[in-house]
Structure 1
Amino acid sequence: MASLHLFALTLATIILALITRIVSVVFYHRRNRKNAVGFFHPYTNDGGGGERVLWCAVKSVQEESPDLDCVIYTGDHEASPESLAARAIDRFGVKLVHAPKVVHLYKRKWVEETTYPRFTMIGQSLGSVYLSWEALCTFTPLYFFDTSGYAFTYPVARIFGCKVICYTHYPTISLDMLSRVNARSSMYNNDALIAKSVFFSQCKVIYYKVFSWMYGIVGSHAHLVMVNSSWTQSHIQKLWRIPDRITRVYPPCDTSGLQVLPLERSTKPMKIISVAQFRPEKAHPLQLEAFAVAIKNLDADLPRPKLQFVGSCRNEADEKRLQYLKDRANELKLDNDVEFHKNVTYSNLVSLLGGATAGIHSMIDEHFGICVVEYMASGAIPIAHNSAGPKMDIVLSEDGKQTGFLAENVQEYADAILSIIRMPVNERLEMAAAARKRASLFSEQRFYQDMKAAIRPIMLNTSQ
């Protein structure tokens, strides 16, 4: 009994010492906050639309509040102020006012999906708490700006005395995800084993409900929430319940740089471009299958088109997905009709877009769809998934004219591809012109204006 009492006393002492240490660390850093904005973006080399938002957000802050330093929290250990500023120009055409400061994160593995084969969502979310602790202990800014969607970091930043700003591309969990698990639909985030089992599906429903409750709590700690689309705004308002702190800011799309490309372009052969990271949710295999069906049903007197996959690989899993696509193209006897362009520079991307007649996108519930806007701005007719951002915000009629196609399955995508191939040149140019006009609503300049208007009230007084 005495030994048990001694053990309990020792454990209590350790816990008290740990709490005391944590409190002292927090108060030290609260007192020593720097006049800066810390951008939490662990992957500064992902090459996607999220990275473009990061650099445009940095530029917005630099122009709106030049007295504030901009610091990037990154897990890319070779990143330097100079290399990141150069990357912003080379990959996205964004020229920063000056190079940002860099804080390297060494615990990024705790937010990598490969670290959590099961319960990935909660694992990555809790891992982000640990990563944000590392970030804020290394450098504590006045403003913590999350541009990667790690909502579980917000309470941590609040504890350190930071004002929390976030740009949310998509909710970590959505009501659509919950309904799909309830309906036992198999998808990239709901494997077939679970979808086929009533028991496992119900367990996952409970897991999702608990997580959505937690997600709502942590998200409500943000002082300012910017969302990228009507679809995202609807879900975040329902989950976080802070509608007065949520504003829609469409993401920056290079419409001005792409709109100078000529609408008339060579169709020998006709090129169909697909711009997206090689991630599972981008559904590249569906595009390949649809292209194969279109080729099979192509009129004998029409030349075979080319499908160009353009994207970046974040890790080994993405590399494997890319290799699978190459192997599948060979199996479908499309090796001469399909091209793969990995990690291209911004100038090369513009060149590829300028040669494309159509652009294909197939992610279900794509929160926005920057690539779809890029297609439209460059003069490529979009074929996008009939859901979320493309459906609600982007591929809508302009002056009563059709701006593209929406599809949901292999046959619908194949039909859209064939429709564009068979379309008379004047009709195709008319649709491309209408799409280009609509794309101007999502310009980079519009993003800067809306971003500055959103952050201005919270940054008017930099001394808290």
Structure 2
Amino acid sequence: MAILAGLVAVLSALLAAALRRLLRQPTQAAGFFHLYTNDGGGGERVLWCAVRAVQELHPGLPCAVFTGDADASPEGLAARALDRFGVRLLSPPQVVHLNKRKWIEASTYPHFTMIGQSLGSVYLAWEALTNFTPQFYFDTSGYAFTYPLARLFGCKVISYTHYPTISSDMVGRVKQRSSMYNNNSRIAGSIWLSRCKILYYTIFSWLYGLVGSCAHLVMVNSSWTKSHIVNIWKIPERTKRVYPPCDTSALQMLPLERSTTPPVLISVAQFRPEKAHGLQLEAFALALTRLDPHFPKPKLQFVGSFRNKEDLERLQKLKDRAFELHIDELVEFHKDISYMELVQLLGRAIAGLHSMTDEHFGIVVVEYMAAGAIPIAHKSAGPMMDIVLDEDGHQTGFLASKKEEFADAIIKVLSMSEKERQEMAAASRKRAQRFSGQRFHEDFTEAVQPILLPREA
């Protein structure tokens, strides 16, 4: 009895402590829930540009970043924002370290990954908000299941959603039994397993819509993302399209005239499965077989960063595949380079490759265009709907979906005269100005001002 009484006392104390935390007033601050502050991708750029925008809009409002990176420090993150993305923060952000990031890593959940990661994010949000409860809770990583919890803590929930966790496109692939990185061949080959997965997706989609609707403001990065989010979360009046910040300032200064001896193609993307680097490698090899033997051999440069051991293993497989295709002497790999090094590489490239299916937006495609590298992008979602469109009646790049189509586009770029290439590059660069960091700053500020400064709205 004594043990039971003690247990009840402990549980009562924990419950009371939790209630006290929930009932206390949030701190006048903006907290950014961004668990990977070292991934080097477009999402991290959005984080730092968003922090900068909030600092400018509300100078007296402290900003904090919730991160799972153990070595993150205020000064280190501020320096990283400047070095990697060219974003100068007005002051270093406060850092709130989270110790259980493994609970949102895909490797933790071999099966039912989406629901596992979503529930894991709730655990991490609890850890975050019990340590520091900001008045404004910004989610810049897409963890919608944390929104009801943040509201319970009294936060205003502001989301910048890069892509929906689940979409009708994903359900459609399962129904069609298409094998992809998010639908393995075993499930695709089984009618029964496919039906079970459709049921799982249906239930998850309903839950996703329920938690997403808890946001006070939703910003989405593209037309494709907006259509899916409005369809699932059903809060169109609180959903705004804010194109992500693309570095079009330093890149716009690069000369359009560049050496083509040898011609260089570039591919900039994290080494993740959905980026489909293998497709680019196969297309490049195919294009080489179709080139005139007397044509200068082009080079392909892969540039990317890593999240974990699996990404490193993926890079090694790419190197092995290049060797198998007998093109390893024409393929280079650049990993974790600085922002200035990236600018230099982009300034030498005549074309940029992108092959992710349903890339929600595609910041790198805009960076190619701004740098004067003609984009060869996947024919879907953001690149198709928002980016690689004609500018003043002039073609700005190429869209492809199959290996053969990518190879054809590569050959077309390589076969252009210098005049033709520069004309297309100029039209491409002009279109890229629609997605500048300044445009993001203006649209982001306009969207969040009614919440951050309601009396001035």
**Alpha carbons of 1:399 and 1:295: their partners in 2 closer, same or farther (altered >3 Å)?**
same
1:365 to 339, 358, 366: 358
Matched, 1:285 2:278: yes
2:66 to 73, 78, 82: 73
SS at match of 2:328: coil
CA contact (8 A) 2:21 2:153 kept: no
* One-letter amino acid matched to 2:317: Y
Query: Equivalents in 2 of 1:396, 1:20: separation in Å?
Result: 60
Query: Equivalents in 1 of 2:280, 2:319: separation in Å?
Result: 13
CA contact (8 A) 2:22 2:152 kept: no
1:320 to 309, 313, 322: 313
SS at match of 1:340: strand
* One-letter amino acid matched to 2:137: F
Query: Equivalents in 1 of 2:119, 2:407: separation in Å?
Result: 42
Matched, 1:264 2:290: no
- 1:385-420, CA deviations, whole angstroms, 9 ceiling, x for partnerless residues? 000000000000000000000000100000000000
Within a 5 Å distance, the mapping from 1:269-348 to structure 2 comes to 269-348=262-341
Residue ranges of structure 2 left out of the alignment (5+ in a row): none
Query: Equivalents in 2 of 1:296, 1:424: separation in Å?
Result: 21
- 1:188-231, CA deviations, whole angstroms, 9 ceiling, x for partnerless residues? 00000000000000000000000000000000000000000000
Deviation of 1:14 after TM superposition, in Å, equals: 7.0
- 1:423-459, CA deviations, whole angstroms, 9 ceiling, x for partnerless residues? 1111111000000000000000000000100000001
Deviation of 1:27 after TM superposition, in Å, equals: 3.6
Query: Equivalents in 2 of 1:405, 1:293: separation in Å?
Result: 17
Deviation of 1:26 after TM superposition, in Å, equals: 3.9
Query: Equivalents in 2 of 1:264, 1:411: separation in Å?
Result: 28
Alignment correspondent of 2:98: 105
* One-letter amino acid matched to 2:155: C
CA contact (8 A) 2:33 2:140 kept: yes
CA contact (8 A) 1:27 1:160 kept: no
CA contact (8 A) 1:360 1:383 kept: yes
1:214 to 207, 212, 222: 207
Query: Equivalents in 2 of 1:245, 1:300: separation in Å?
Result: 57
Query: Equivalents in 2 of 1:363, 1:11: separation in Å?
Result: 56
Deviation of 1:21 after TM superposition, in Å, equals: 3.7
Deviation of 1:67 after TM superposition, in Å, equals: 1.3
SS at match of 1:437: helix
SS at match of 2:249: helix
**Alpha carbons of 1:151 and 1:11: their partners in 2 closer, same or farther (altered >3 Å)?**
farther
CA contact (8 A) 1:276 1:312 kept: yes
Alignment TM-score, normalising by the size of structure 2? 0.97
* One-letter amino acid matched to 1:445: Q
Percent of residue pairs bearing the same amino acid type:
66
* One-letter amino acid matched to 2:291: L
CA contact (8 A) 1:154 1:219 kept: yes
Alignment correspondent of 1:164: 157
Deviation of 1:18 after TM superposition, in Å, equals: 4.7
Alignment correspondent of 2:342: 349
Query: Equivalents in 2 of 1:436, 1:11: separation in Å?
Result: 71
CA contact (8 A) 1:26 1:159 kept: no
Residue ranges of structure 1 left out of the alignment (5+ in a row): 1-9
Within a 5 Å distance, the mapping from 1:61-460 to structure 2 comes to 61-460=54-453
**Alpha carbons of 1:22 and 1:269: their partners in 2 closer, same or farther (altered >3 Å)?**
farther
Alignment correspondent of 1:7: none
Deviation of 1:175 after TM superposition, in Å, equals: 0.5
- 1:327-346, CA deviations, whole angstroms, 9 ceiling, x for partnerless residues? 00011111110000001100
CA contact (8 A) 2:25 2:154 kept: no
SS at match of 2:329: coil
The structure 1 segments of at least 4 consecutive aligned residues displaced by more than 4 Å after TM superposition are 10-20
* One-letter amino acid matched to 1:68: L
* One-letter amino acid matched to 2:449: R
SS at match of 1:295: helix
Deviation of 1:22 after TM superposition, in Å, equals: 3.8
RMSD (Å), alpha carbons: 1.7
Query: Equivalents in 2 of 1:448, 1:30: separation in Å?
Result: 34
Query: Equivalents in 2 of 1:88, 1:140: separation in Å?
Result: 24
Query: Equivalents in 2 of 1:200, 1:302: separation in Å?
Result: 50
Query: Equivalents in 2 of 1:261, 1:96: separation in Å?
Result: 25
1:55 to 40, 48, 63: 48
Query: Equivalents in 1 of 2:5, 2:222: separation in Å?
Result: 49
CA contact (8 A) 2:213 2:233 kept: yes
* One-letter amino acid matched to 2:109: Y
Query: Equivalents in 1 of 2:291, 2:23: separation in Å?
Result: 65
Query: Equivalents in 1 of 2:318, 2:342: separation in Å?
Result: 20
Deviation of 1:13 after TM superposition, in Å, equals: 11
* One-letter amino acid matched to 1:404: G
Alignment correspondent of 1:3: none
**Alpha carbons of 1:118 and 1:13: their partners in 2 closer, same or farther (altered >3 Å)?**
farther
Deviation of 1:32 after TM superposition, in Å, equals: 3.9
* One-letter amino acid matched to 1:271: V
- 1:164-194, CA deviations, whole angstroms, 9 ceiling, x for partnerless residues? 0010000000110001101100000000000
Query: Equivalents in 2 of 1:187, 1:62: separation in Å?
Result: 41
* One-letter amino acid matched to 1:438: R
**Alpha carbons of 1:33 and 1:415: their partners in 2 closer, same or farther (altered >3 Å)?**
same
Query: Equivalents in 2 of 1:30, 1:59: separation in Å?
Result: 30
**Alpha carbons of 1:18 and 1:177: their partners in 2 closer, same or farther (altered >3 Å)?**
farther
Query: Equivalents in 1 of 2:271, 2:200: separation in Å?
Result: 28
- Give the number of aligned pairs: 454
